[in-house]
Structure 1
Amino acid sequence: MGHSLKKSGLRQTRYGSGSFSSTYKFALLISLSRLAIEKGQDSCEGLALEYTDIAEKFIELYWKQAVPYTFNDEGQLILNQNNDKQAEIVNQIIKLRKIYSSLELLRRDSEEWLTLLKEVECTVKKMPVRYLQNINGQNFEFLYPLDQCGKQLILLPQVMYCLRQFSEIIEELCQKRWIDYIRKNSTNAPILNQLPNLEQFMFEPSRNQLNAVASVLVELQECKCFYCNKKMRKGSYAVDHFIPWSLYPSDTGHNFVLADSSCNSKKSNLLASDEFLQKWQERNEEQDLVIVDRISVLGFLTDKERSHKVAEWAYTHAKENNYQVWQG
């Protein structure tokens, strides 16, 4: 199954960008990979995914991209995600961003949030779920059976395991091809052709968001480094993704810790040792309500169980593949 996943699905991503009508297929593959980590386990069983969860992932991915990309200090452009008119999901989010300054504020308006989820669910079912496995006009059901995609999307046996094992490759390829698609899109190309890489704008948290997170963590950690426990001076610390961004490029509030510049630099994109994992889990248990209350309003998902599930996957994955671990 791993061979067929790479041969069929990722080959389509590689050669299909010219025939894709929107970026939805990239978003769907990324969403399935992340949900396999958050909801699944390392087994060869199938996995039933709720469309609500898939829709939430789509909203998280497109929320950041539904604001104008600023270039040359003057021009602005909302990236077109479709070969023709703007992708419908992006249009829906653009309207809501005028009302809600953060994704978490939108989530707190339960009526509006549920309405958006339902609308995105319908679009996901109608478009990328139906066409993701279509190659040259023919469906190859190597990820999920289309005739069973009514109320849930059912990943075929072994697919969950493969998505978890190859998640880093899937993320890297999908993001790269997504960026290429945006850059070459006929409505974006005249402006973006000569501009720097779009990766930071499209997929990474903004510096302002991380600065706001730092202000919360300074109080939470009494301005001490999470790793060495030494007092830090203002400006000498950085927000660290405890589970490195390179392993799981999606932000959750419980994943942030504050580290001094030295520890942050040395840890880099490595996992910290088991003693720090235990300390991080205990911090999240003790400070859960504070994290939910203060970091969620900054626009980050704050789901402790989801964060710990990702950590469980990351550490298991690291041990199986003999990844280097930072000892502190």
Structure 2
Amino acid sequence: MFADNKSLPPSYSLNISVLSQLFNSTTNSYKYLFFSALLDILERNLFDYQPIHFRELVIEMLANAWYPHVFFKLSFGKQDQISLKLDRLNIQSGKEAITRKDVLISIINGYDVDDVINSLMRYVPFRLIRPFFAEELRGIKDGEVNSSIIMLSKNCFKKKKPLYCFNFENYKLVDNIIVHPEWINYIKENFVILKGWVAWEWLNYMQKNNPNSPNLARKLFPLVQRKSLIQQAKYWKLIMEKQPLKCIYSDNILDKHSISVDHYLPWSFVAHDQLWNLIPSIHHVNSAKSNNIPASDYLDKFISLQHQGLIISSQILPKKKWLNYIDCYLSDLRINEPNDLLKLEILMKAYQKTFKPLISLAQIQGFSTNWHYG
């Protein structure tokens, strides 16, 4: 999709070929997070020509990394330190409610992130723009690269037009980047394409480190507002009008007027609202379950409740509407015929075959997999 510089919009005055090389030979998450943070800050600042402080960049990077690491428990790679930085900050309080990135940034801004700044900004801002000076840096010792990039970015700012330069010539004093005005204009004009490009590169990197994670693309970026579960609740309420249902966790009879729709495998793991993973439950029970995966002894109850729902819905819904509801069951559980969903033995086997590897993966990623109510 974004394989080379031909995928990025051309420019008569800027080196787009070098821009396309920013993520070549990348072994950790820092460059992706830094460049994405830079784009987000420029957009928020309405593409103003003001310097951008390292602290602002780091907070943006931590906010972008928080969702995949803390909320979705993804790996950034064995040698990557960003997850350790987030764990030490322990930005966990009320994490279920942080669905807006601006709120998360405000929370992180209240933390002492000096150690993170000193660590992440030691190399990333300098090495990111290294491709702009590949010829000049050939043969330079690694310990001298950062200082050389500072001088080159300043001295060649008008001629080579690197993405940015720095506010001081002394490496130890540098704490701001100054984005080249022509690059700001280019980013402004092509913002959506550039965001798509870095998202694609970020997805490819994370896919290597999380090869078995379901719906990975939906777990890499700040959460958008969760979709309403009105239709899914409506499905279960129709069933409850025909037959009383019990909460599989508490064994209490469910009241159709006050049900809570529960993701059996938590949303933060599966990142979808498919009906085959949703059941009605009691509000306080669902809250207690939170982000945990139920213990194995609940699984048969869950499948039986799903089977009960499928049987009743097949009897009360018009065929076309029922087929629309069950389409996700057929595709995701890999069941061939609609009528096979009505056979408990087939449904049991399909769920067990689907859930067993998912639950094992969830456990590896750090989700609690032995939750009991009460």
TM-score range, shorter chain: 0.3 to 0.5
Q: Name the larger-Rg structure.
A: 2
Normalized per residue, the structure richer in strand is: 1
Instruction: Give TM-score scaled by structure 2 length.
Output: 0.43
Greater RCO, CA 8 A, separation 6+: 1
